[in-house]
Amino acid sequence: LLLLGRVGAGKSTVAKTILGRDNFRSEGGMCVKKQGEVAGRTVTVVDTPGWDTVKYTSTHIKQEIKNSVTLCPPGPHALLLVVPMGDPLSSAERKAIRYHMELLSVRAWKFTMVLFVSEAEEKCTSIEQNQMIDRAKSILAKCGDRHHLLECGNSPSQIAELLKKIDAMVAENSVAGAQHGTLGACIGIPIGIILAVLVSYAVRGAATAARDISITVKAEENESQRREEGADFFIDSRKSKRFDKDQ
């Protein structure tokens, strides 16, 4: 599970709540990865550094967000976009969400679920939930209206329900053709490259690893584009020949 969101959204609190542990702390603009047993299965959670507005997010934070995909090979099964309950979700905030999510890939939305988070002791009312959903409707539209409410003070049953929703999304993406329903497979990052970047991350540091994966993914995208352009040319040529024959 990959946690994404703005600064102060509550990602670390979500990680602690899901894994049931208190020692999950952000580390000064670095991704943090932890594992734990949740409902009888091993769950890996990667917490990413929070973003700012499109204009003010540093290059380092952007690189960390891109690099986060490689920390759980062959890629995360789910991206949890953490949004605090009561967040006004202004136009600038929605723009920042779209921009930073698509640093991973425009295909990232296929693997995304919006996680509305409340740290208040009182349970959220249905009116509050509906108001939040309405404010987030343009973001929800991009991820197939997948969302979940996590009240950190009343969480066990909500975590079980969250995992069920994630399982359903993974199954849907697997049927759609993504290997094992993971983002890494969907955007075409070979497992060998992911492992190489993990080694780079451990040995040379996050910034170097982020640069490595950015360069590699760009090369993969360029190669994919060349293949698509070649296919388009081939199809157009066949159409042209059929047209000449008909004439």
Q: Is the pLDDT at 63 greater than 50, yes or no?
A: yes
3-state helix, strand, coil in the chain (%, to 5): 55, 15, 30
Say which residue, 85 or 231, is predicted with more confidence. 85
Angle 129-130-133 from CA coordinates, rounded to 5° = 85
Q: C-alpha distances in angstroms, 208 versus 44, 91, 212, 214?
A: 23, 33, 6, 10
CATH superfamily, domain at 2-185: P-loop containing nucleotide triphosphate hydrolases (3.40.50.300)
Percentage with pLDDT > 90 across the chain: 54
**Per-residue pLDDT band at 119 (split at 50, 70, 90):** confident
Q: What is the pTM of this model?
A: 0.75
Whether 185 shows a pLDDT value over 80: the answer reads no
State the pLDDT at residue 122.
Answer: 81
What pLDDT, in 10s, does the model give residues 16-44?
A: 999 987 767 767 789 999 999 998 899 99
Q: What is the DSSP letter of 121?
A: S
Per-residue pLDDT at 100 = 97
Mean predicted confidence (pLDDT) in 210-218: 50
Q: Which residue has the higher pLDDT, 63 or 152?
A: 63
User: 82 — phi, psi (to 5°)?
Assistant: -85, 120
Domain positions in the chain are 2-185
pLDDT at 188 over 70: no
Rounded to an integer, the average pLDDT of 67-92 is: 92
Q: Bridge partners of 83?
A: 116
Instruction: Report, as an integer, the average pLDDT of 179-184.
Output: 58
Distances (CA, A) of 167 to 17, 25, 94, 162: 19, 26, 27, 9
**What pLDDT is attached to residue 7?**
94
Mean per-residue pLDDT of the chain: 79
Residue 82 token pair: 């953490």
